[in-house]
Amino acid sequence: MNIDGLRLRIRTRAACVGVIGQGYVGLPLAVGFARVGFTVMGLDNDRDRVLALTAGRSHSPDVASEALAEVLREGRYRATTDASVLERCDVVIICVPTPLRKSKDPDISFVVAAAEEAAAHFRAPQLVILESTTYPGTTQELLTPLFEARGARPGRDVFLAFSPERIDPANPTFGVRDIPKVVGGATPECAEIAALLYRQLVERVHVVSSPKVAELAKLYENLFRNVNIALANEFALMCRRLGVSVWEVIEAAATKPFGFMPFHPGPGIGGHCIGVDPAYLAWKMRLSGYDARILRVADEINRAMPDYVVDLVAEALNRRRRSLNGATILVLGVAYKRGVGDVRESPALEVIGKLRDCGADVAYADPHVPEIVLDGGTGTLKAVEPSGERLAEADCIVIATDHREFDYRRIVEVARLVVDTRGVTRDIDAPAERLVRL
């Protein structure tokens, strides 16, 4: 088969698509392609996850188990741990995690492993796309040499591209098919073939001049959010010193119909993107001898927020003649954002750890997270039910994640003291000594 044959198989949706990584990004993408008619192989090295997917049980808030079961019944989707299936694929898409090391340097070991698997099972012609967020230059510096070492020439035998994932877990408005795709190819032919693939799934595809531009576009998207959240967090600290509600100020500013976009403060930032991606760019710039100052300052502000939350709790307890040491604290929500069970980089975990270090007796409730691993792997903590009795007995309730399942009005009515880090109680009247907002 030549390039024209690959184009035809993609255009007619007869192509077999392999998606490496069946997590929050890979599974919605895989099921999305399967639902529009492609045959999809979902590759993952987590055997338990593969068994669950094979049984039709989805772990993603963006893929209903019913939708997964449907593509399984139709034979359009298969989950597997066997990398040899990539040899039968016309398209391979890499959707694996890109975390940070403790040194805040990029950890691209998952990308390297996935790319090596793809290269090991390569057959020409094949479209290979990296979707994992990474530092600018990864596609051409890592993927291209791997395939060239096997005699594959980009644009002739292998079609290499980068297309950043833009999944927003649990977003009911924008799913995988609603979000425009950005595509950068190693050659014009690579970009054209990758764009053709994504046009089978999404309405709008924006082609850029190179993979590096596409890689930087994703980093800039999340840098934008990171910096503006840091601004909101810093502004919250200033408003508190001035005795003004930051939530009221932001609400007033947001009435301007142009030139303003509201961002809100919180206990910190978390998840696999917003807090991590700017570090990838900062690392790359350090290698180039450039100090990305705004990234460094934003990171310092955001990472200081868990300490600030603990200080708020201590101050609020002190006003009630209660010490943080020995206090019973119930933290509501440990996921990094509402509606998901993902705790990666969640500031709530850091808040819990710091409260425990201060001697507090901490429990948590989260309808999406049944158990968490304590800092340093020293043990686990299981979720509790936020019953009326438990709410009333706690010395302090800390709202760390604004899940919709929590009845905030009832919580404020029943609890002795509430510290709200998400602004979900701003429409609820309560004495200042019982309700403290960020």
Query: Catalytic positions, please?
Result: 273
Cα 5 to Cα 2, 11, 327, 411: the distances in Å are 5, 10, 68, 61
Query: Residue 362's closest CA among 390, 402, 403, 388?
Result: 390
Q: How, if at all, do strands 371-373 and 380-382 pair? A: antiparallel
Tokens 């100090």 -> residue:
291
- Is the distance from CB of 19 to CB of 29 less than 8 angstroms? yes
Q: Which residues contact 251 (CB under 8 A, 6 or more apart)?
A: 262
Q: How many Cβ atoms sit within 10 Å of the Cβ of residue 308?
A: 20
Q: How, if at all, do strands 181-185 and 371-373 pair? A: unpaired
Query: Residue 348's closest CA among 422, 279, 432?
Result: 422
Tokens 């192989």 -> residue:
41
The Cβ-side half-sphere exposure at 277, using a 13 Å CA radius, reads: 25
Q: Which residues contact 234 (CB under 8 A, 6 or more apart)?
A: 301
Distance between start and end Cα atoms, the chain = 61
